[in-house]
Amino acid sequence: MLGLAGFAIFWVLTVPKTHGATALLGLSGNADKGALVFAAAGCASCHAAKDAKETDRLILSGGRAFPSDFGTFYAPNISPDTEHGIGTWTLAQFANAVSFGTSPTGKHYYPAFPYSTYQNMELADIADLYAYFQTLPASAEPAKPHAVPFPFNIRRSLGMWKILLMPKGFHLPETGLTEVELRGRYLVEAMGHCTECHTSRNFLGGLRTDHWLAGGPNSDGKGSIPNITPHKQGIKSWAEIDIVTYLNSGFTPEYDSAGGAMAEVVENMAHLPPEDHKAIAAYLQKIPPLPKP
């Protein structure tokens, strides 16, 4: 009987979340604004074909492999194709996926999809992003199933992962932040999901928030992710203009250049207005300096 009661509690606690019926009322979305959200959120970096360039990066056919300690995840097709993509999704279904990692069929998505960061996005921005998605080319590329072994393939258990390990709100408190720093916080902690790569994780895949943006091992086992806090091991010596230049061009103050996944991030960031680059720089200079773990 106790076992049955425990299972019932688990089942109730792990119900996938959705937005309320009235949450999206009055939001129609603006595709032009959505293009900037798309760039800031880095959608093409995961969902476009590997090595895609220019307009081909707008074909979100998926298929890229993301190896991890829990198996290999494959980016799905999120183009507006009605059979293999998300062409039949409503705004509500799209918002539930982005905010909560909940699928249209009421299942949990794996956190390889960075909804733990996107949960901080404003619904108006999600509506704009949805409107922009409708303008993109469709792809009939079938989604590739994830290669995730037992017990990590039990999707319902992700509900408990979300309860225990998903960050709750923004990491940097609002108190004392300027308007520019708040914009930077939103770009980094909501849309940009910088922490998904630049913060190390515990053995269950949860972010080690005591090492916020301090870098750590690369999830694919190759090399490491740099520290981007204002620590001597990070970007302490970088001035605002150095950070802004890097986000625009990929060139560091030492005349090195961004490589790997970061090169694609720079390509995305280059679409944002100069004031957003300055806001990101202001945020990165505001966070606590931490050594690399």
Dist. CA 40–CA 34, nearest whole Å: 10
On whether the CB atoms of residues 188 and 118 are closer than 8 A, the answer is no
Dist. CA 210–CA 148, nearest whole Å: 28
Cα dihedral 195, 154, 95, 41, rounded to 10, equals: 30
Supply the pLDDT for residue 293.
Answer: 84
Mean pLDDT by 10 residues, the chain (293 residues): 67 86 90 96 90 87 90 95 96 97 96 94 97 96 92 90 91 93 96 90 90 83 85 94 91 81 86 95 95 88
Please count the CA atoms within 13 angstroms of the CA of 262 that sit on its side-chain side: 20
Provide φ and ψ at 108, rounded to 5°: -80, 135
Supply the pLDDT for residue 220.
Answer: 64
Q: Return the residue matching tokens 């994830």.
A: 146
Buried b (16+ CB within 10 A) or exposed e, 65-97: ebebebbebbbbbbbbbeebbbeebebbbbbbb
Residue ranges per structural domain of the chain: 22-158, 179-286
On whether the CB atoms of residues 242 and 213 are closer than 8 A, the answer is no
Supply the pLDDT for residue 221.
Answer: 65
Give the 3-state DSSP-derived string for the chain, with helices as H, strands as E and coil as C.
CHHHHHHHHHHHHCCCCCCCCCCCCCCCCCHHHHHHHHHHHCHHHHHCCCCCCHHHHHCCCCCCEEEECCEEEECCCCCCCCCCCCCCCCHHHHHHHHHHCECCCCCECCCCCCHHHHCCCCHHHHHHHHHHHCCCCCCCCCCCCCECCCCCCCHHHHHHHHHHHCCCCCCCCCCCCCHHHHHHHHHHHHHCCCHHHHECECCCCCECHHHCCCEEECCCCCCEECCCCCCCCCCCCCCHHHHHHHHHHCECCCCCECCCHHHHHHHHHCCCCHHHHHHHHHHHHHCCCCCCC
